[in-house]
Structure 1
Amino acid sequence: MPAARKVQPESDAAVVHLKASDEQRPAGRLLGDELRHHRVRLGYSLADAARVIRASTSKVSRLERGESPAKPRDVHDLAVFYGLSRKEQSQLDQLLAQASNADLYARFADVTPDFLKRLIRLEGTAETIAVFEPRVVPGLLQTEGYARALVELVEIGRSEASIERIVAMRMQRQLMLDKGVPTLAALISEEVLYRLYGTADVMAEQVRFLLKATVTGRVNVRVVRRDAMVPPYPIFHLTFPDADGQELAYVEHLDGANYITKKSQLDKYRKVLLNVRANACDREASTASLREALRHWERAAAD
């Protein structure tokens, strides 16, 4: 039996574009076709795949024909066993979502705490998201390498497979930004750009990604000066496309989060964010700050 290849991560998540001739085919069949394609391409048997997901060969056969509902865990385990790239895994995840009509938080329920599930649901229906992050790059703007370094640091005791699923969830969460709504305003403390997570190469890649994000129309990245008086905790503020202008704030802490919807408290956190924004660099200065951080990490990687 050939050995499974090591997953080669890719920085750009893929979007599955279905051809007109495919649109009439059930997503479950498309998902099964993809799984079968990878199994056959690598020379694995139905029995090999069955051992991976702890099932019978007949179940795998039904899964590949689109006759049996796919479980997120089984699809993920097969993708890892087949050594699929992040791009290929992303395609499977999107087909799985279409097949099961499952939201992102549902597909990754086993590795997503309840408080984060609520935020993911809210992000998907928001019109605008503003976030201040004093400690790390905001999750919606993290590269895969940076996210993995954070997860490995925080999720002590997790299996490698579990860590990979958490990272995959973070990468899939970013796909909503490709739709144009919501728009994202990210206020990032300057210290974050110089705080090492992973390697110098990982940090350089992360800063390059932020620089790339600054030129998009959907993401507004601003660097907050080191000497600014800002809160020590991250704050999210979301608005929704409702006629009555609904909004909420989200304040994250170590083991959970608080959701603020009362007007008096919302006013308080909105003012905090406005104060942080007032202490942030403009677009030109933020870009210059990011470029300086990139030079720092490129020099570190070269040493």
Structure 2
Amino acid sequence: MVTGREATDLLLGEQLRHWREQRGLKQKDLADVIRGSVSKISRLERGESPAKARDVIDLARFMRVSPREMRLIERLLEQAQDREWYDHFSDVTPTYLKRLISLEDNASEITAYENQVVPGLLQTRAYAHNLVSTVKRSETDVDRAVEVRMRRQIILDRPIPRVTALIDQGVLLRPRGGRAVMCEQLEHLLVAADTKRVNIRIVGFAEGADVSPPYAITHLMFGEGGPSELVYVEHINGADYVTSPSAVDEYRNALVKLRKAASDRNESKRLIREAIKNYS
């Protein structure tokens, strides 16, 4: 069974790689520290191998990280040992989605662009049920997968992360689940848009024509002392977690262009209300 600690291993690996590069060290410089090989260090930094507490602590001490950074490592190691709530839904939750849920839980800011559906953090139960039912046959599996999506939204009850949702206008006009389901979903967006922690911006057809990518992008940023930012790009059979600074820059710039092209808060709410009228 693949567990939720994979996301924590990814964060640990990213943090260790950041510290190593910051100090001008090579992977071979760290191999002897953990009585391993260069390939072991490489797997550890990519989050492909379970992070052993002894190895991580030895590496952190060798690189003389600060007390604050050591506390971060200890906290991540504690998380790696915990069985997360979504592990109980492993049979209906893809590994790549479990990683994203864990990362969202640690993020300070999330920016998501969606061109096909309402972002997962803002979906209603009925809307999510319609989406999941297109890929799962068993009603039990559908219900369990929807429950994961509903529990995932608990982070919206906290002061952080701040969430910006850039939504293609076509999403508003695509009646998934029927008119009643869409009305409920769009009303839910309006309620969320009136909260301080959620910023909903609609990317219009004309305004986004030259800047909208043909795929969804989620950019996550983490608090001071935490791991560096990363980008999540989902595709039909899985997802990519992008941590390379140059690649992250490209996706961040794409989101900046989308934000500039998007309608402001008030106009976005007007477009949502207009879509509701069309369904009513």
| TM-score (norm. length: structure 2) | 0.68
* Aligned residue number for residue 163 of structure 1: 142
Q: Which residues in structure 2 correspond to 1:214-293 (within 5 Å)?
A: 214-227=193-206, 228=208, 229=210, 230-243=212-225, 246-293=228-275
Distance in 1, matches of 2:92 and 2:263, equals: 36
Residues 40-119 of structure 1 mapped to structure 2, 5 A cutoff: 102-119=83-100
Does 2:165 align with 1:186?
A: yes
Deviates more, 1:273-282 or 1:235-244: 235-244
Task: Say if 2:101 is the partner of 1:120.
Answer: yes
1:244 CA drift (Å) = 6.4
C-alpha distance in 2, partners of 1:267/1:192? 26
Q: CA deviation at 1:107?
A: 2.2
Matched, 1:213 2:195: no
Counterpart CA distance in 2 for 1:135 and 1:237 is 17
Provide the rounded CA distance (Å) in 1 between the counterparts of 2:85 and 2:220.
18
User: Is the Cα–Cα contact under 8 Å of residues 104 and 172 in structure 1 kept in the other structure?
Assistant: no
- CA distance, structure 2, for counterparts of residue 169 and residue 118 of structure 1: 13
CA distance in structure 2 between the partners assigned to 1:173 and 1:118 by the alignment: 12
AA paired with 1:199?
A: G
Q: Which amino acid aligns with 2:126?
A: G
Could you tell me which runs of 5 or more consecutive residues in structure 2 were left unpaired when the two chains were aligned.
1-81
Q: Name stretches of at least 5 consecutive residues in structure 1 with no aligned partner.
A: 1-100, 299-303
* TM-score (ref. length: structure 1): 0.63
Alignment check: 8 A CA contact 1:104 1:173 kept: no
SS of corresponding position for 1:285: helix
Alpha carbons of structure 1 residues 244 and 115: separation in structure 2 relative to 1, 3 Å:
closer
- Runs of 4+ deviating beyond 4 Å: none
> How many Å separate the matches in 2 of 1:231 and 1:185?
17
- Give the secondary-structure state (helix, strand or coil) at the position aligned to 2:149: helix
**Conserved? CA contact 1:190–1:226, under 8 Å:** yes
What is residue 131 of structure 2 aligned with on the other side? 150
Percent of pairs identical after alignment? 46
Higher RCO (CA 8 Å, separation ≥ 6 residues): 2
**How many residue pairs get matched?**
197
Q: Could you say if the C-alpha distance between residues 164 and 243 of structure 1 is closer, same or farther in structure 2, counting changes exceeding 3 Å?
A: same
